[in-house]
Amino acid sequence: MKKAFRIVAWILVPIIVLAGIVVYFGAIYVSEQNAAARPACEQPAESAGGVTPVTVMSYNIRCFVPVTDAVDRWSNRKESVFGLIEAVNPDIFGVQELTMFQVSAFVDRFRDRYTMVGEARDGIGLGERSAIFFRTDRFRLLEYGTAWLSETPERPSIGWDASCNRVVTHVVLQDKTTGVVFAHYNTHFDHIGKVAQQQSGKLIADLIAASEYPALLTGDFNVPEGGEVYQGLTKYFRDAKEVALQSSDAPTYQGYGKKSEVIDFVFLSGAVTVQSYRVIDRFDGIYPSDHSALVVEALIGA
- Bridge-based pairing of strands 132-135 and 238-239 is unpaired
| Model pTM score | 0.88
Nearest alpha-carbon partner for 276 in 301, 298, 302, 249: 298
Q: Which tens digits make up the pLDDT trace of 91-148?
A: 999 999 999 999 999 999 999 999 999 999 999 999 999 999 999 999 999 999 999 9
Query: Strand 92-96 to strand 52-60: parallel, antiparallel, or no bridges (unpaired)?
Result: parallel
Annotated domain spans of the chain? 1-36, 41-300
**How do residues 8-27 score in pLDDT, each as one tens digit?**
456 655 565 454 444 444 54
39-71 pLDDT, tens digit per residue, is 888 777 766 668 999 999 999 999 998 877 888
Find the mean pLDDT for residues 28-43.
64
pLDDT of residue 40: 82
pLDDT for 286 beyond 60 = yes
pLDDT higher than 70, residue 240: yes
Distance between CA atoms of 113 and 287, rounded to whole angstroms?
Answer: 25
**What CATH architecture does domain 41-300 belong to?**
4-Layer Sandwich (3.60)
The three-state secondary structure class of 51 is coil
pLDDT at 44: 74
Q: Which residues contact 195 (CB under 8 A, 6 or more apart)?
A: 160, 161
Percent helix, percent strand, percent coil in the chain, to nearest 5: 30, 30, 40
CB under 8 Å to 141, separation ≥6 — which residues?
Answer: 39, 40, 41, 42, 115, 117, 134, 171, 172, 173
pLDDT of residue 19: 42
